Structure 1
Amino acid sequence: MKSVSFLKGLILLTIVSGVSCTKLDEKLYDRVSAENFGNSETELLALVGPAYSSLGSENRDGIDNDYFFLQEASTDEIIVPTRGTDWDDNGKWRQLWLQTWTPDVDILNAAWGFCSYGIGQINRIEAQLLSSTVELPVKPQLLAELKALRALYHWMLMDLYGNVPIVADFKTDPNTVTNKPRAEVFAFIESELKAAIPKLTTTVGASTYGRMTRYAAFTLLAKLYLNAQVYTGTARYTDCIAACDSVINSAKYTLNNNFFANFATNNDISAEEIIFSIPTDKSLYGPGDFSGLTRMQLRTLHYSHRAVYNLGETPWNGFSSNADFYNKFNDPNDVRKSMFLVGQQYDNLGNPLTDGATPIILTPVISSLSAAARNEGARSIKYAPEKNSRRQQSNDWVVFRYADVLMMKAEALARQSNNWNAGLTLVNQIRTRAKAAPLSSLTADSFLDERAREFAWEGWRRNDMIRFGKFLQPKQFKANVSPDTRNIYPIPRPRLTANPNLKQNPGY
């Protein structure tokens, strides 16, 4: 489904001209010109390109990087134990797992920067479009795409940090903004999406793959409403169901019969389940380039897996799931369990891999957070490692899938009726695709476990656990319940230093 010329062109344009992009904390307002430009649809699409490519690590920090770390490595899903001298990093991974982070942890600042950079890009491009005298039929749609993307970035920022600034104008000095209450940010995101949706395209195909369609906006709106109780204190389950139905009733999407096709290196060509993704292609990056997406294979694979996949770089042997999470995959026929590598590992010829003289037998059992063995932890190949790749891969990063729409509707129905079985039929659609036995009943805990199995390592675990009241609970190596204030992250200290108008979140 991918429109190769359009998407690759946008990525290449950004790589070449990325230095002209503005960050939220830079004042480059003089770059907005009133000159005529964008005399064709292609030129306008190229102008809008950086708004999308900033999601994919055009500035070295994409959605699969620090934002993903905060959403996953703080939960029970991904653990990053120190192995010898590897993955100590001044203890930041242990702080995430133990939920003892401080405003000085660099990941917090980088994730904030990722979101604010994207917002700054969008505001700049929007100002350029609005100042142009060129009028083409596609222009209102592109402005709506920018509005929906800006809502996505504000949603990510709000979900992580709670009370955050709203910046929706390129002329606003970022050093004068202050935090807005989370409920106000929620209302802003809702209004942006509602304003954008009528002008967004309903076309689903090669020309719109990787772009904000009406259905991508409805999916984000459903995600917003599903978490409304957390964000504002007021439930919006009826609205969540309506947003989900807007996607379901369109008949534009379906579950892919092959679960792992959603994450394959060519997942763009069988994208019937993918509502919004971030396209990428390894061929667009040079040997020393740190930009790009989908570096999960390096973060998780054992060093010796380099030979298995003929990788141009030795994997980093870090990200894992422990036995508690791995054992949630308790149906022997559930194909989703094969996302994990465990047991004896083999090379391309079927010979057992060794680490020196020691057979490489991966085990989900992790014995220590600060001194784990090199073979400990189940490794994820959900995003299939691409043979003959180096740092980047060609798997497009999936943000929204149709499966999530079905699960969101099932959960909203259950919460609305106070009956978890209300969404049982929808949940069993998901399980049937996974070759897992249908469930006869559901509870809150079993529903959350099903979301864990379906969306593992996709960046949703923290969001889910907070909604179910499980995020702060004890887990391996963490004996105590964390304070409620840990449900949101602190405003990073460098941001407070740069802008004294920002106020730190409670508890920090």
Structure 2
Amino acid sequence: MQQLPKILLVIVLPLLLLSCTDKLDVKPISDPSVANFYRNQQDFEQAVNAAYNGLSTYPTRHFFLSEVRSDNMYVPGEGGTYDWNPVNNFMVNSSNTLMSGAWSDCYNTIMRCNSVLDNIDAQKVPDEGIRNQFTGEAKFIRALMYFDLVRFFGGVPKIDHLVTATDAQDIPRAPVQDIYDLIIADLESAAQLLPASYSGGSKGRATLYAAKGILARVYLTRSGPVLLDKGPVLNSNEYAKARDLLKEIINSGSFTFINSYPQIFSYDNENNSESVFEIQFKSGGTGTGTVIPAEMLPGGYMRAEKIPVAGGNDFKYVSNDLVSAYDTNDVRLTFNVLQGYTDENGNFVNQDYFKKFLDPKRYGVDLRDWGINQPVLRYTDVLMMYAETLLHTGGSQAEIDGIVNQVRARAGLAGITGVNEDMLLAERRREFAAEGLRWHDLVRTGKVVTVMNAWMAKEDDKKVMKPMKTEYIIYPIPQTEMNIKPGLYEQNAGY
């Protein structure tokens, strides 16, 4: 049988759902027909839950393709070569499995969303409020996936409805602007359709504020200086649009600034007042836990701490430059970074690792089963993005300084004045370390080439990294996709 293109593997929704489990109770379906599957509200709820389940790979995608790619980590390749080493070294090629994984995971989730949107109607879901919610959630998730695709790959195939395998083989890459048009339309629609909040077991679902916050992030990304013609930054100068959306979130009173940094990430404080949107994970052997704590930390540390699950690779180091960027009194340093450890044989291992999402007593059944949610957008980010928009729209310097100093005070640091973009980026780096934002911040502000090359000159003592070039702002189109129909896609420059 001819293998279907990866972006089409989920057009048969019931077969897809057979392999899905979710914190929100996705059950297997036996009916092999998509049309026959969608009969009532419960069927659509199950399908939307499957779309949320598609977000389970979001944390590792941004860890490897944003954190590892950035100046936050130095992962040159020791103890064997892994797919993330060439990502770090700017030597990645189209055959790298991280590329194909990111592409297929995003498109699989997009197709789950398309399946909901193509089939939902008033006859099958009579309750207008519920129907609007399901539609808004599917559009929000689809926009989030296309935002990932456009930032990592540039222009990609625009597929906003279910298509056949034959039809898909004729869909070329759409221009970046066309993908953004879909993202913006989806998020604007989601902001109109979604509720402001949920209660009980529905907490954690996308809200209108999540849609507005991600849309503000989209506008910020588009607004920066163009370094690469086919990249995700368009010099669109939409800072005022982002500012107004962020101000709406701030003025809503729906979120508060938590005064304890560690409490934001507590296993017992998920979906807290700082959370605008976070991906839901739950341990217990149900297949709904996250691998992130073990992915970031070495097996030697896990064994030394008597954590009875296998650890990750021992060679994913936090960069010396990031560690030195923290003041020694900064509470975020000790919370975010494991500064060496004593192994099970009593030897001190002088390497730094991210431990932000680890609670040693809250492990699940294996290394992929940690019950800690992954923040996608939190209120501190809303505030700091708002400060950034004020810098670009002639806003109050006192207000900008006040936002940054609120963040610094929580970290135990003294206030500063005259905050500019470089100072704001430096504070964002310390605040959001290990959350997958650093590479995107450098790209959208146009500082990625200068910052990365200056960082390499200090950090790359193994002399294995290629100089950063503008072509490396985006990744290569996976070779698996290039092979589907030779000539359909043009490979990104530099690969």
Which TM-score tier does this pair reach, normalised by the shorter chain?
0.7 to 0.9
Over 3 Å counting, the alpha-carbon distance change for 1:506 and 1:304 in structure 2 is closer
What percent of counterpart residues are identical?
A: 25
Are 2:74 and 2:88, in contact at CA under 8 Å, matched by a contact in 1?
Answer: yes
Q: Which residue number in structure 2 is paired with residue 224 of structure 1? A: 218
Provide the secondary structure at the position in 2 that maps to 1:283.
coil
Q: Which residue number in structure 2 is paired with residue 233 of structure 1? A: 235
Are 1:151 and 1:193, in contact at CA under 8 Å, matched by a contact in 2?
Answer: yes
Q: Which residue number in structure 1 is paired with residue 120 of structure 2? A: 129
Shift, 1:235, TM fit: 1.2
Report the more deviating stretch, 411-420 or 244-253.
411-420
Q: 1:383 aligns with which of 346, 353, 357?
A: 357
| Pairs within 5 Å for 1:9-158 | 10-11=22-23, 13-14=25-26, 17=28, 31-33=33-35, 37-39=39-41, 44-56=44-56, 62-85=57-80, 88-89=81-82, 92-130=83-121, 133-137=124-128, 138-158=130-150
Distance 1:400 1:194 in 2: 17
Over 3 Å counting, the alpha-carbon distance change for 1:314 and 1:190 in structure 2 is closer
Shift, 1:436, TM fit: 1.7
Provide the secondary structure at the position in 2 that maps to 1:310.
coil
Q: 1:341 aligns with which of 338, 341, 345?
A: 338
Distance 1:380 1:220 in 2: 25
Unmatched segments (≥5 aa) in structure 1: 1-7, 21-29, 57-61, 346-352, 363-375
Shift, 1:331, TM fit: 5.1
Are 1:263 and 1:383, in contact at CA under 8 Å, matched by a contact in 2?
Answer: yes
Shift, 1:190, TM fit: 0.8
Report the more deviating stretch, 150-159 or 165-174.
165-174
Amino acid at match of 2:482: L
Shift, 1:93, TM fit: 3.0
Shift, 1:99, TM fit: 1.3
Provide the secondary structure at the position in 2 that maps to 1:341.
strand
Q: 2:426 aligns with which of 449, 461, 471?
A: 449
Are 1:148 and 1:193, in contact at CA under 8 Å, matched by a contact in 2?
Answer: yes
Shift, 1:133, TM fit: 3.3
Provide the secondary structure at the position in 1 that maps to 2:191.
helix
Q: Does 1:409 align with 2:386?
A: yes
Provide the secondary structure at the position in 1 that maps to 2:305.
helix
Over 3 Å counting, the alpha-carbon distance change for 1:136 and 1:328 in structure 2 is same
Amino acid at match of 1:262: I
Shift, 1:175, TM fit: 2.2
Shift, 1:315, TM fit: 4.2
Report the more deviating stretch, 250-259 or 170-179.
170-179
**Structure 1, residues 264-309: CA drift from partner, whole Å, max 9, x if none?**
22332x6110111111111143xxx6x7424323432351433415
Over 3 Å counting, the alpha-carbon distance change for 1:411 and 1:499 in structure 2 is farther
Q: 1:465 aligns with which of 417, 436, 442?
A: 442
Q: 2:482 aligns with which of 473, 492, 496?
A: 496
Q: Which residue number in structure 1 is paired with residue 15 of structure 2? A: none
Distance 1:275 1:32 in 2: 33
Q: 1:427 aligns with which of 379, 404, 410?
A: 404
Report the more deviating stretch, 448-457 or 487-496.
487-496
**Structure 1, residues 234-290: CA drift from partner, whole Å, max 9, x if none?**
11000000110121111000112221222222332x6110111111111143xxx6x
Q: Which residue number in structure 2 is paired with residue 327 of structure 1? A: 324
**Structure 1, residues 142-164: CA drift from partner, whole Å, max 9, x if none?**
11111111111111111111111
Q: Which residue number in structure 2 is paired with residue 366 of structure 1? A: none
Provide the secondary structure at the position in 1 that maps to 2:73.
coil
Provide the secondary structure at the position in 1 that maps to 2:59.
coil
Report the more deviating stretch, 490-499 or 121-130.
121-130
- What's the TM-score, normalizing by structure 2? 0.84
Over 3 Å counting, the alpha-carbon distance change for 1:142 and 1:386 in structure 2 is farther
Over 3 Å counting, the alpha-carbon distance change for 1:284 and 1:94 in structure 2 is closer
Provide the secondary structure at the position in 2 that maps to 1:442.
coil
Q: Which residue number in structure 1 is paired with residue 14 of structure 2? A: none
Q: 1:360 aligns with which of 305, 329, 348?
A: 348
Shift, 1:52, TM fit: 0.3
Are 2:258 and 2:274, in contact at CA under 8 Å, matched by a contact in 1?
Answer: yes
Report the more deviating stretch, 414-423 or 465-474.
414-423
Distance 1:308 1:341 in 2: 13
Shift, 1:47, TM fit: 3.1
Over 3 Å counting, the alpha-carbon distance change for 1:410 and 1:393 in structure 2 is same
Shift, 1:74, TM fit: 0.9
Q: What CA RMSD, in Å, does the superposition of the two structures yield over aligned residues?
A: 2.7
Are 1:299 and 1:318, in contact at CA under 8 Å, matched by a contact in 2?
Answer: no
Distance 2:121 2:489 in 1: 29
Distance 2:30 2:390 in 1: 47
**Structure 1, residues 445-494: CA drift from partner, whole Å, max 9, x if none?**
22111010110000111100112333233222267642211111121111
Over 3 Å counting, the alpha-carbon distance change for 1:400 and 1:490 in structure 2 is same
Over 3 Å counting, the alpha-carbon distance change for 1:68 and 1:259 in structure 2 is same
Are 1:424 and 1:442, in contact at CA under 8 Å, matched by a contact in 2?
Answer: yes
Report the more deviating stretch, 225-234 or 328-337.
328-337
Q: Which residue number in structure 2 is paired with residue 369 of structure 1? A: none
**Structure 1, residues 356-391: CA drift from partner, whole Å, max 9, x if none?**
4x62243xxxxxxxxxxxxx3x11111123424321
Are 1:34 and 1:131, in contact at CA under 8 Å, matched by a contact in 2?
Answer: no
Are 1:34 and 1:132, in contact at CA under 8 Å, matched by a contact in 2?
Answer: no
Distance 1:117 1:420 in 2: 44
Over 3 Å counting, the alpha-carbon distance change for 1:200 and 1:83 in structure 2 is same
Q: Which residue number in structure 2 is paired with residue 349 of structure 1? A: none
**Structure 1, residues 207-244: CA drift from partner, whole Å, max 9, x if none?**
54221100000011010011112422211000000110
Q: Which residue number in structure 1 is paired with residue 296 of structure 2? A: 299
Unmatched segments (≥5 aa) in structure 2: 1-19, 225-232
| Pairs within 5 Å for 1:183-262 | 183-230=177-224, 231-262=233-264
Amino acid at match of 1:233: N
Q: How many residues align?
A: 452
Over 3 Å counting, the alpha-carbon distance change for 1:9 and 1:113 in structure 2 is closer
